[in-house]
Structure 1
Amino acid sequence: MKTVVQAIIGCLLTALLWPAAADEIQSDNLFPVVELTTNHGTIVVELDRSRAPLTVDNFLHYVVSGAYDNTIFHRVVSDFVVQGGGYNPELIEVKEREQLVNESGNGLRNTLGTIAMARTNEPHSATSQFYFNLADNLNLDPSTRRWGYAVFGEITAGLEILEKMGLVATGYNAELAAPNVPLEPLLLVSAKLKPE
């Protein structure tokens, strides 16, 4: 099992391997803004580097490198979450960076309109996949007995777009071996870091 120290070292090494992206995301701005253009409309997200610095920088590496462009939201559960960042429309996986240290104890909560990192049951396993909360999902927050899912920002414009995305028809996808996959592609056309 990967330790927190190993995960931190992995993040630092990955930053060294992605120098162009690292140059673009280094900033004194504690609240960078990302514009996500989908085939249903545009969502603007303000990230919180003051509460989740590792998670925000990880997300921004994917954004500025173009890794999220022309990908899909592959999981939609009505009144729960819209999840993306894992696959392109051909279901080829996004190239992943190192796994992240879980920053779920940062005081940010899984409430309607927030963005958080998806992960496996292993607490420090988040890489590229993220989700938007379609409701107040406080059961995803940490407790004294379990790790939570790290929230790192919130929607500042386009919540109605997210809510529309949450209503798309879904079903079982044999290739992903997963339920709740949109029957028609739900596209993330581009993700752009807005200038300060």
Structure 2
Amino acid sequence: MPMNQIVRRAVIGAALAVLASTSGLVTSAWGAAGKPRVAIETDKGTIVVELEDKKAPITAANFLSYVDRHRFDGGQFFRANRAKGAPGAGSIQGQPKPYSRRAPPIAHESTLKTGLKHTAGAISMGRDAPGSATADFFICASAQPYLDAKPGKSDAAQGYAVFGKVVQGMDVVKKILAGRTDGATDVPSMKGQILNPPVKIISMKRL
């Protein structure tokens, strides 16, 4: 085979190898379907979540805006809501750093609309009334179907807005859930659920 053909094949092979390597990096960072991923670094370990920016575009974009503005850096997981009689079941709730500026509340994207469910690893928005969510979020350590929307007009029937899932670090979620929960609170329904000490969110960043 002529030398120029050998060189040409070698160059093409090298280019394809680089392309394959780069493609692997993109898939790793964005997920198989191009979904954005965020690393939540805590003092208990790192959790990686993959966001459903197509199914829950408003909620995912809102979360990413807080990530991009570093509003979660220095925040905390402050609540561990454990299911009674079911070790390892429940959810953990996080929030931005204290006194950080919050964006206006976002429209509620119910699970009836998005098709997403509160399965184990789901990340969802905390709220009071539907349409009041800003930045507080929670991660399900176990399936919690009672948080999904149900047909009806009451606030409770609207459920909570799932917008992604944990793809790495469920062991960290479980570790946070198992933390000491005798922290002070003025909210009766949260008594026995406030982490003491809270788990620090060191940083959040896109992958």
Match of 1:10 in 2: none
Is the 2:106–2:131 contact (alpha carbons within 8 Å) kept by the matching residues of 1?
yes
Contact 1:54 1:101 in 2 (8 A): yes
**Which one of 99, 102, 108 corresponds to residue 108 of structure 2?**
102
SS in 1 for 2:77: strand
Root mean square deviation of aligned Cα = 1.7
Q: CA deviation at 1:93?
A: 3.7
- Give the whole-Å Cα distance in 2 for the aligned partners of 1:64 and 1:134: 25
The aligned residue for residue 126 of structure 1 is 133
Identify if the C-alpha distance between structure 1 residues 171 and 93 changes in structure 2 by more than 3 Å, giving closer, same or farther: farther
**What does residue 186 of structure 1 align with?**
199
Please, which runs of 5 or more residues in structure 2 have no aligned partner? 1-32, 83-88
CA–CA distance in structure 2, aligned partners of residues 175 and 187 of structure 1: 21
Alignment gaps of 5+ in structure 1:
1-28
2:186 and 2:130 map into 1 onto residues whose CA distance is 26
Counterpart selection for 1:140 from 134, 147, 165: 147
TM-score (norm 2): 0.73
- Cross-structure match for 2:80: 76
Partner of 2:61: 57
Task: Name the structure with the higher helix share.
Answer: 2
The number of residue pairs the alignment matches comes to 161
Structure 1 residue 112 displacement after superposition: 0.7
Indicate conservation of the 8 Å contact 2:141/2:170, yes or no. no
Q: Which structure has the greater CA radius of gyration?
A: 2
Q: Does the aligned pair in 1 maintain the 2:185–2:194 contact within 8 Å?
A: no
